[in-house]
Amino acid sequence: MKKTAITLADGRTLRYYDLRDDTPHDTLDPRPLRPDPGTPEIRHDPLLGDDVVIAAHRQTRTHHPPSDACPLCPTRPGAAPTEIPAPGYDVVVLDNRFPSLTGDLGHCEVVCFTPDHDASFADLGPEHAALVLAAWTDRTAELSALPTVEQVFCFENRGEEIGVTLGHPHGQIYAYPFVTPRTTRVLANAATHHRRTGGRNLFDDTLAAELADGRRTVLDGTHWTAHVPYAARWPYEVHLYPRRRVPDLTALDDAARAELPGIQLELLRRFDRIFGPGQPPTPYISAWHQAPARHPLKGEFALHLELFTVRRAPGKLKFLAGSESGMSVFINDVPPEAAARRLREVASA
């Protein structure tokens, strides 16, 4: 992997990740941009104990541009310059032009998986998917080392139903200046489990129970295993774990890292086949849950990928209505065992 960093016209950083060492990236950003990171604010909710980001400047971010004006495509000869000055690339990570978090309040980055505007992550080959993983890992290591960052979150939103405003295949990285509410709750439960069981790990015991039951197992590799959780919140939801518990992407060994691209691609391709032929691409969120950078319980956390869709049937979405949005009590219309069975049925031949 070759990594090349350049500075965009407004001072943001863009990083090229290339499969070959001989790929030049000497094209400058010709746009007359001025630095304008916005002014996000973090406010603490005294009732729930959560932190909330207020980012009013994001109201003006790019919203569903036509494909010939996509800011994440390479800059083509004779066309208006985009966010990416080069005429081609493998993988790009750049500072978000409309960040939710900036400066001492964290960082937001965009990860462009491919220059092909009409592709998706599932269309990548294993080598290219491994390059995306290498970029996730590299950015996790660098961002986690910053004294203002407490947790790094790598994720992909796909589909307008999820709220995506740019159709180009891409993910994002949020580097929070606090430990997120979800992770705080998980770590508290892990600590309680550790005390109640005489030192056992919550993630290890949960994964062992799923493997022993077997009904919700979707895919089982040498170094990774995927299952629909017993109490799944979403219609189709899969959790992918390495068999050897590690806190984050940087801690994966070579064997687990080598097997992951094929496993992840297979899961994504199955998601596109859940609802049968002729259906539009399945909208999903693909989220890497990693341990906080400096938390005392970091070693108790288990890296895992959560992949889920808001589509519950052809033409039907799972909305977060009164119970979910008002009281955080999810109601799932698809039994987890049925979801797992369907995901096994649509395995690649």
Instruction: Give the residue numbers marked as catalytic.
Output: 170
Confirm if 159 and 285 have CB atoms less than 8 A apart: no
Instruction: State how far the Cα of 66 lies from the Cα of 62, in Å rounded to an integer.
Output: 11
- Closest C-alpha among 205, 232, 204, 228 to residue 215: 228
Tokens for 196, please give them.
Answer: 């109640």
The dihedral region occupied by 176, where left means phi > 0, alpha psi between -120 and 50, and beta the remainder, is beta
Instruction: State how far the Cα of 223 lies from the Cα of 259, in Å rounded to an integer.
Output: 7
Instruction: State how far the Cα of 326 lies from the Cα of 343, in Å rounded to an integer.
Output: 31
Q: Does the annotation flag 168 for ligand binding?
A: yes
The SS3 assignment for 150 reads: coil
Q: Does the annotation flag 117 for ligand binding?
A: yes
Tokens for 150, please give them.
Answer: 């407490």
Q: Does the annotation flag 70 for ligand binding?
A: yes
Residue 273 DSSP class = T
Residues of the binding site = 70, 73, 117, 168
Task: List, as residue ranges, the binding site for Zn(2+).
Answer: 70, 73, 117, 168
